[in-house]
């Protein structure tokens, strides 16, 4: 930090409500209740009331005013609300028969001290009331006729100038970034205009803005007047810190009307050629929205009542300004509300919320009046209108993930925060971003619009160092001449209603996503339940069926043994049929059981050498291999993430079928594997009877066979089991064959195991 920056930062912190300096046109007294003993006075009491401060301190107010007036004041002070006694006219004898009339204004400061401020009263008593009446009536009448905010502001400045007779009256509004702009101005004709000029944030430093928020009206009748101090300098009673009575805090003058402005502000006024100023704060929702600033080239006093009238006007009129501001956007807000409800309808009907946002009219571009929009849904981009390219968007989202933790990020100058945005300023100088979750973002873009801002003096030189009395200090700029700035890397600003609509859309999307997740979870639960029921059924069926089946088998065998001699040829044949039926049923039950056992939960995915799995399968099939004289070859089998038993079962079923469905040719079976992008492709090829292509799907369905059992034994479950196993591994299975041309069965196993496919990572 340079010294200059340090000084500027100090300016932002410097307390100005405790400087203990008073404007010299009035007298300030700190009183102790209930006797109204004088604890502290402004030093100019000797000049204005002709009493030396050291004599005044220790006396009571009754010693200065006559008892009748003091009694009246005390009655007023017993009420909590000082509005009824402020101001009270008081007469003070200044020696002999001379009286001076003052407006007496009371308040209690934060330390609970009673503060009385006496300002010289202006003689024509009716003027304030009449002025106020005119001011209010004229403004309120005209209010109804005005069409827009700007016109309305013009009327206010005109009326305020009429009654206060300042050389210049301006209505000044603060931007979001703290800079101010003159919205309306009424001035003496010979003076140059400040209308439309911008003033940097530092012109009204933070402590000053805080005071303007709590003290709604502020008069500096003579910017050149020399401020006076308090006697004694530190109030003996104020702000004594408990346990440390020796530390005295300065008198808090936040709500004082006589408090002197900071030297820097006085110098600022001086540099601007202002001799006196009156400032009326415009407060909206507790925040300083703007000011009505009145400037006069020479010193000028405005009586308390008229000031109060201006303050009142400021409040009444300003509530109208706020309403106007809001109703100006009414039609637009209604339109956005309509678009929003359309989008919500589309989203809830669409498969995926993204589709609902981009595929119809109106779409998300209409919601914020943006030229481009991008939706990031689990790392996938959907773009609409003019946007940066996906690669740049990836980086932008990474930056947002690190830096934005709120529900929304809005800027009309992205490059200010994120310098890389400079390169796509033509599409995205303005950004409105809403994070929906860590991996889901909605972004709207606006292009750069080069604007010219007129400043009242160069804003980057708002303050300069100057030498005074041998020390270097910070002082406001001397020149307020028009200084034009071309603002680049900035888009048109996002309106409050647009931001609000984006936020509401966010809520709707979050709700839809949550609802979809809920539905999915419900579906998963239903599936799990029906799966579990199926497994239980298969188990119970196989178990419970096996028992009576064994009975049948045993008794048929008993029949055969005991009554062999008594049975004729047909009887024996029938018993033979019964035995065969029972054994087929046993096979069917075993296969159904095997099928029901193939499931994800039961599978153990480990690195499995396919050669080993094949070896085990061939071992199980060795007798049929021997009988069929099959020539079995294999190549390039890899190691894969799989359940080894299930993989062995696959080979066994496929090779078993190859042997079973062999033709007259000498049987050859070839097992192969080939690496694809993200999976291994296995094939089992035979030269058997082949399959008509029209049946190539049907054979994978349970119990589906193409031949009678007399031709080829079997249950029709083998390929169904294979299909289920492959699906557990998130792979595919299919066959390529022609009748009598042999058949090749293919299946795939994902390279990284089953998780690869499902999560898409
Ligand atoms: P099963 O072998 O018990 O009949 P599968 O489910 O294994 O049951 O096979 C279903 C049907 O597919 C078989 O009945 C057969 O008609 C046909 N099939 C299976 N493998 C082959 C093959 N290698 N060659 C010709 N047809 C086959």
**Domain harbouring 428, CATH code:** 3.30.450.270
pLDDT confidence tier of residue 6, bands split at 50, 70 and 90: low
Expressed in angstroms and rounded, the spacing between residue 66 Cα and the centre of ligand 1 is 122
Expressed in angstroms and rounded, the spacing between residue 702 Cα and the centre of ligand 1 is 11
Expressed in angstroms and rounded, the spacing between residue 591 Cα and the centre of ligand 1 is 14
Same domain, 412 and 281: no
CB neighbours (10 Å) of residue 720?
22
Same domain, 342 and 321: no
Give me the mean pLDDT over the 641-652 stretch: 94
Expressed in angstroms and rounded, the spacing between residue 481 Cα and the centre of ligand 1 is 95
Q: The pTM is what?
A: 0.57
pLDDT confidence tier of residue 656, bands split at 50, 70 and 90: very high
Residue 464 lies in a domain: no
Written as six digits, the tokens of 474 are 């910070």
Name the residue of 657, 694, 738 to mutate for ligand 1: max ligand atoms within 8 A of Cβ.
Answer: 657
What pLDDT, on the 0 to 100 scale, is given for residue 659?
96
Give me the mean pLDDT over the 378-402 stretch: 93
CB-based contacts of 196, cutoff 8 Å, min separation 6: 181, 182, 454
Same domain, 186 and 272: yes
Same domain, 204 and 67: no
Using CB distances shorter than 6 Å, the residues near ligand 1 are: 657-658, 661, 686, 688-691, 699, 705-707, 714-720, 743
Same domain, 349 and 283: no
Residue 221 lies in a domain: yes
Q: Which atom of ligand 1 is the closest one to the Cα of 714?
A: 3
Written as six digits, the tokens of 626 are 């021997």
Q: Which atom of ligand 1 is the closest one to the Cα of 719?
A: 6
* Tokens 């991996």 belong to residue: 439
- Output b/e per residue, 582-619; b: 16+ Cβ within 10 A: beebbebbebbbbbbbbbeeebebeebebeebbebbbe
CA angle centred on 500, ends 316 and 365, rounded to 5°: 130
The lowest-confidence range among 241-255, 309-323, 743-757 is 241-255
Query: 19 or 30: whose pLDDT is higher?
Result: 30
Q: Which atom of ligand 1 is the closest one to the Cα of 690?
A: 25
What pLDDT, on the 0 to 100 scale, is given for residue 756?
41
Query: 395 or 247: whose pLDDT is higher?
Result: 395
What pLDDT, on the 0 to 100 scale, is given for residue 761?
32
Same domain, 506 and 536: no
Residue 519 lies in a domain: no
Last residue of a domain, one of 280, 295, 327: 327
Q: What total of structural domains would you count in the chain?
A: 4
- DSSP 3-state of 155: helix
Expressed as residue numbers, the domain containing 204 is 129-233+249-327
Q: Are 739 and 690 in contact (CB under 8 A)?
A: yes
For helices 610-620 and 644-660, the axis angle rounded to 10 degrees is 50
Same domain, 651 and 622: yes
Q: Of 221, 213, 40, 212, whose CA–CA distance to 117 is shortest?
A: 40
CATH number of the domain residue 67 falls in: 3.30.450.20
Same domain, 362 and 384: yes
Name the residue of 691, 733, 744 to mutate for ligand 1: max ligand atoms within 8 A of Cβ.
Answer: 691
- Output b/e per residue, 70-96; b: 16+ Cβ within 10 A: beebeebbeeeebeebbbbebebeeee
Strand 668-675, strand 631-634: pairing: parallel
Residue 315 exposure: Cα atoms within 13 Å on the Cβ side: 10
Residue with the nearest Cα to atom 1 of ligand 1?
716
What pLDDT, on the 0 to 100 scale, is given for residue 320?
75
Last residue of a domain, one of 79, 100, 120: 120
Same domain, 426 and 352: yes
Residue 472 lies in a domain: no
Over residues 599-628, the pLDDT tens digits come to 766 678 899 999 999 999 999 999 999 999
Same domain, 425 and 358: yes
Name the residue of 719, 726, 736, 747 to mutate for ligand 1: max ligand atoms within 8 A of Cβ.
Answer: 719
Residue 8 lies in a domain: no
Average pLDDT in the chain: 84
Residue 62 lies in a domain: yes
pLDDT confidence tier of residue 126, bands split at 50, 70 and 90: very low
3, pLDDT greater than 80: no
CATH number of the domain residue 289 falls in: 3.30.450.40
Written as six digits, the tokens of 540 are 């119970």
Last residue of a domain, one of 327, 348, 371: 327
Residue 756 lies in a domain: no
Give me the mean pLDDT over the 124-149 stretch: 64
Same domain, 608 and 722: yes
What pLDDT, on the 0 to 100 scale, is given for residue 79?
81
What pLDDT, on the 0 to 100 scale, is given for residue 624?
94
Query: 757 or 686: whose pLDDT is higher?
Result: 686
Residue 470 lies in a domain: no
Over residues 694-712, the pLDDT tens digits come to 999 999 998 899 988 889 9
CB neighbours (10 Å) of residue 697?
11
What pLDDT, on the 0 to 100 scale, is given for residue 364?
93
Alpha carbon distance 405, 379 (integer Å)? 19
433, pLDDT greater than 80: yes
Same domain, 145 and 105: no
């Amino acid at each position: 930090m340079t010294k200059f920056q340090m000084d500027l930062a100090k300016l932002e912190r410097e307390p100005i409500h405790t400087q203990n300096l008073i404007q010299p046109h009035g007298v300030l007294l700190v009183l102790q209740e209930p006797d109204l003993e004088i604890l502290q006075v402004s030093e100019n009491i000797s000049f204005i009331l002709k009493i030396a401060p050291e004599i005044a301190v220790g006396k009571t107010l009754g010693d200065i005013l006559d008892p009748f007036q003091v009694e009246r004041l005390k009655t007023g002070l017993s009420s909590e609300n000082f509005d009824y006694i402020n101001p009270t006219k008081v007469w003070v004898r200044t020696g002999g028969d001379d009286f001076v009339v003052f407006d007496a204004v009371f308040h209690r400061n934060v330390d609970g001290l009673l503060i009385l401020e006496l300002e010289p009263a202006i003689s024509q008593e009716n003027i304030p009331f009449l002025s106020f009446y005119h001011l209010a009536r004229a403004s309120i009448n005209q209010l109804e006729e005005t069409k827009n905010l700007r016109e309305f502001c013009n009327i206010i400045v005109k009326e305020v100038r009429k009654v206060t007779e300042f050389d210049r009256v301006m209505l000044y509004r603060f931007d979001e970034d703290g800079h101010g702009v003159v919205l309306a101005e009424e001035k003496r004709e010979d003076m140059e205009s400040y209308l439309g000029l911008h003033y940097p944030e530092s012109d009204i430093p933070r402590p000053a803005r805080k005071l303007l928020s709590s003290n709604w009206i502020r008069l500096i009748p003579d910017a050149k007047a020399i401020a006076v101090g308090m006697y004694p300098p530190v109030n003996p009673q104020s702000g004594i810190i408990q346990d440390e009575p020796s530390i005295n805090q300065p008198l808090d003058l936040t709500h004082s009307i006589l408090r002197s402005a900071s030297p820097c502000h006085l110098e600022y006024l001086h540099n601007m050629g202002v001799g006196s100023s009156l400032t009326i704060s415009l407060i909206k929702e507790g925040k300083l929205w703007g000011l009505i600033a009145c400037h006069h080239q020479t010193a000028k006093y405005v009586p308390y009542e008229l000031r109060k009238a201006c303050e009142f006007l400021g409040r009444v009129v300003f509530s109208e300004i706020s309403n106007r501001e809001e109703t100006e956007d009414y039609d637009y807000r209604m339109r956005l509300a309509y678009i929003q409800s359309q989008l919500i309808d589309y989203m809830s009907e669409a498969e995926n919320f993204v589709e609902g946002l981009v595929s119809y009219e109106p779409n998300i571009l209409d919601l914020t009046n943006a030229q481009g929009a991008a939706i990031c849904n689990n790392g996938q981009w959907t773009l609409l209108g003019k946007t940066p390219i996906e690669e740049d968007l990836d980086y932008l989202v990474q930056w947002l993930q690190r830096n934005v933790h709120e529900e929304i990020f809005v800027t009309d100058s992205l490059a200010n925060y994120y310098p890389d945005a400079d390169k796509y300023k033509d599409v995205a100088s303005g950004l409105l971003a809403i994070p929906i979750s860590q991996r889901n973002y909605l972004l709207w873009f606006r292009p750069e619009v080069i604007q010219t801002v007129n400043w009242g003096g160069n804003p980057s030189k708002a303050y300069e160092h100057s030498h005074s009395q041998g020390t270097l200090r910070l002082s406001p700029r001397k020149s307020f001449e028009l200084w034009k700035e071309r603002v680049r890397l900035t888009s048109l600003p996002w309106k409050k209603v647009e931001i609000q609509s984006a936020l509401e859309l966010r809520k709707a999307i979050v709700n839809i996503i949550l609802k979809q997740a809920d539905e999915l979870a419900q579906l998963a639960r239903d599936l799990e339940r029906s799966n579990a029921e199926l497994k239980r059924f298969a188990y119970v069926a196989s178990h419970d069926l096996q028992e009576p089946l064994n009975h049948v088998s045993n008794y048929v065998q008993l029949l055969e043994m005991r009554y062999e001699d008594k049975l004729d040829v047909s009887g024996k044949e029938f018993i033979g049929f019964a035995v065969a039926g029972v054994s087929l049923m046993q096979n069917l039950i075993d296969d159904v059981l095997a099928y029901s056992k193939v499931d994800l939960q039961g599978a153990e995915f480990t690195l499995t050498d396919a050669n080993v799995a094949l070896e085990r399968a061939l071992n199980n099939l060795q007798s049929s291999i021997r009988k069929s004289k099959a020539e079995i070859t294999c190549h390039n089998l890899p190691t894969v993430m799989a359940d080894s038993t299930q993989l062995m079962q696959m080979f066994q079923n496929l090779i078993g079928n190859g042997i079973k469905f062999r033709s007259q040719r000498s049987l050859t079976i070839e097992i192969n594997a080939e690496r694809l992008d993200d999976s291994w492709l296995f094939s089992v090829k035979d030269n058997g009877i082949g399959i008509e292509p029209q049946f190539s799907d049907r054979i994978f369905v349970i119990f589906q066979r193409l031949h009678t059992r007399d031709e080829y034994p079997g249950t029709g479950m083998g390929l169904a089991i294979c299909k289920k196993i492959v699906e557990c591994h998130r792979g595919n299975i299919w066959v390529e064959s022609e009748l009598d041309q042999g058949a090749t069965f293919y299946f795939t196993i994902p390279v990284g195991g089953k998780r690869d496919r499902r999560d898409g990572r």
